[in-house]
Amino acid sequence: MSALDLNRTGPASMPQRVAHVPLTAVTPLRAVDETREVCAVARGTVQAAIEVLAGTRPVHQLARRLDPRCLASLQHRAELTRRAVQAPAGGIPRLHRNPAVTSVRACEVSAGIYEASAVVVDELRVRAVAMRLERSHQVWRVTALEIG
């Protein structure tokens, strides 16, 4: 900024007015915002579910996000995975190494119900995850979870 810019007066140097919108005029969530919210919930849930299968996260941390049937299924699969994988000499068995969710897509099936898919990449393979999310008491809950 030059000295001339500091001394300038007039409309260009006056602060801009911001329109004030009363809270009663705020529009409800649009589908785009809701889809983003669902994608964020799906991404976090998938990452946590893969970490449960890897044995790096306890399954009970997903109790609020997964319905009881999905939670029991994930817990059963994690137990089977732990039994099937042999530990290296003196180490902890890890089937899923450094998993990362690379993409998430969501599609609205009906009001308050979405189906989402995700791609998870780890050091050994790429896998697909499909899930169904339903809104219950303003909270998204996974009612179906399939990990490929």
Which string of DSSP letters, residue by residue, matches 20-85? P--GGGPPPPPHHHHHHHHHHHHHHHHHHHHHHHHTSS-GGGGTTTB-HHHHHHHHHHHHHHHHHS
Q: Which of 6-10, 115-119, 121-125 has the lowest mean pLDDT?
A: 6-10
As a whole number, mean pLDDT of residues 126-130 equals 95
Kindly tell me if the per-residue pLDDT of 85 is higher than 90: no
Q: For 31, how many CA atoms within 13 A lie in the half-sphere containing its CB?
A: 8
Q: Which residue has the tokens 């001394």?
A: 7
- 89: tokens are 């000499």
Q: What is the pLDDT of residue 83?
A: 80
Using CA atoms, how far apart are residues 116 and 72, in angstroms rounded to an integer? 20
Confidence grade of residue 26 (pLDDT, cut at 50, 70, 90): low
As a whole number, mean pLDDT of residues 78-92 equals 70
Q: What's this model's pTM, rounded to 2 decimal places?
A: 0.71
- 119: tokens are 């791609």
Q: What single-letter amino acid sits at 92?
A: I
As a whole number, mean pLDDT of residues 58-67 equals 93
Confidence grade of residue 99 (pLDDT, cut at 50, 70, 90): confident
Query: Cα-Cα-Cα-Cα dihedral of 71, 40, 116, 103, to 10°?
Result: -110
Kindly tell me if the per-residue pLDDT of 11 is higher than 70: no
